[in-house]
Amino acid sequence: MDPNYEKLAAVLTGHSTNLQADERVLIDAFDIPDAMVIALVRAARARGAVPFVNIQHARIGRELVDQVVPGQFEAKASWDLAQMEQMDAYIAVRGSYNIYETSDLDSAKLTQVMRAMKPVLDHRVNQTKWVVLRWPTPAMAQQAMQSTESFEEFFFRVCTMDYSRMTEGMEALVALMNQTDRVELTGPNTDLRFSIKGIGAIASGGGHNIPDGEVFTCPVIDSVEGEITYNAPSIYQGVSFDNVHLKFKQGKIVHAESNNTQRLNEILDSDEGARYIGEFAIGFNPHILEPMRDILFDEKMAGSFHFTPGQAYEQADNGNRSQVHWDLVQIQRPEYGGGEIRFDGELIRKDGLFVKPGLDKLNPEYLLAD
């Protein structure tokens, strides 16, 4: 067994989901090596947990959606939900040989399937201990513009880092966000203002995503005013988006444009909640510095934040409900144009580095110190 597989499986079943004796865990394996699935099964059993496994493949999933008939995914959702209701924990490892696998699917069919499957997602997110991560493939290495070997080394270094080093800084940021009312975000083609009063903040240090490194909250739903341009590229529903620019009035996205403005607006018109924001999060993983069109990595980049149209998490909830949850990212480090974050008028982070004492323990200099 590859020692990297064993180490990663130990992180996912230990630090991330903290599996206990007799707990049931569903391992959702998407186009990953059998050896990694076996490593997860063994790691779960070593903690006394009971593992269950789903094996999934993107090309088969695409075919099912492409030829979907009425009621098909509603039926699938009913038995998937019954399965999920029997689980205490959920671990998803998602490989991708082709990130554009679903790019030619009818958007109406994708919307239909996402709507049908939403009860399963809601139960998994709100009622289980869960963690989701990608799997390193040559396709991901190409996205990152690295060799396969170099990317695998990067992947396992990031995913098995000591996330406990983030704890003290995250606690300080959570405490500050919990007492903050007004947030201001400024940068190139960005001037946003909103309230997070009474919403609450949540630290994410390897508990739900690997890689991790963010603290998230949510705007008061009707408080967002201004505009933002996201400078990190994005993939959503198999389609590439660059330079997404949004304008807000009373919390609602009233103007949206990008390199694919038509598809962008189709997504934002999926339902009423898709034009409102469901998450605001600040990223600080010191190992992740460049976007690679993979949101589980990109949203954690050092010096970034994401501002997410769609569904809010129940842990930090503004009441917004949507089948969409699209983490769009802006990087504020100097090489990407810089930017500032202010809480109640006080400068918190400038050009990607925290400037307030206590929060500076989330800067790379501290997190990467020997």
Listing DSSP states for 266-330 in one string gives: HHHTSSGGGGSEEEEEEE-BTT--S--S-HHHHTTBTTEEEEEEBPPPGGG--S---S-B---EE
Structure tokens at 319: 């009441």
**Per-residue confidence (pLDDT) for residue 182, from 0 to 100:** 98
Q: DSSP of 165-200, one letter per residue? A: GGHHHHHHHHHHHHT--EEEEEETTEEEEEE-TTT-
Please name the helix (run of DSSP H) or strand (run of DSSP E) that holds residue 124, with its range, or none: helix 107-127
Residue in this structure with the two tokens 């406990």, named with its chain if needed: 164
Nearest to 64 by CA among 77, 53, 52: 77
Structure tokens at 184: 């201001």
CB of 18 closer than 8 Å to CB of 129? yes
Residues 6+ apart with CB under 8 A from 162: none
Cβ-in-10-Å burial (0-12, 13-18, 19+) of 105 comes to: middle
Residue type, 116: A
Structure tokens at 365: 């200099």
**Coil, helix or strand for 158?**
helix
DSSP 99: T
- Quote the pTM value: 0.78
Instruction: Name the maximum alpha-carbon separation found in the chain.
Output: 57
Please name the helix (run of DSSP H) or strand (run of DSSP E) that holds residue 148, with its range, or none: helix 148-159
**Per-residue confidence (pLDDT) for residue 16, from 0 to 100:** 87
Is beta strand 129-134 parallel, antiparallel or unpaired with respect to 209-210?
Answer: parallel
Question: Which domains does the chain show, CATH number per domain?
Answer: 3-159 (3.40.1830.10), 163-367 (no CATH)
**Coil, helix or strand for 349?**
strand
Sign of the four-CA dihedral 300, 301, 305, 311: negative
Cα distances (Å, whole numbers) of residue 10 to 18, 126, 159, 161, 331: 10, 23, 11, 12, 31
CA angle 83, 89, 94 (to 5 degrees): 85
**Coil, helix or strand for 74?**
helix
Structure tokens at 289: 């510095």
**Per-residue confidence (pLDDT) for residue 134, from 0 to 100:** 87
Backbone angles phi, psi at 299, to 5 degrees: -70, -10
Q: DSSP of 12-57, one letter per residue? A: IIIIIT---TT-EEEEEEES--HHHHHHHHHHHHHTT-EEEEEEE-
**Per-residue confidence (pLDDT) for residue 228, from 0 to 100:** 98
**Per-residue confidence (pLDDT) for residue 129, from 0 to 100:** 94
Q: DSSP of 201-238, one letter per residue? A: -EEESSSSEES--EEEE---TT--EEEEE--S-EEETT
Average pLDDT of adjacent 10-residue blocks, the chain of 370 residues: 91 92 97 96 98 95 91 93 97 88 86 90 92 89 88 88 90 97 97 98 83 94 98 91 97 98 96 97 95 89 97 94 96 98 98 96 90
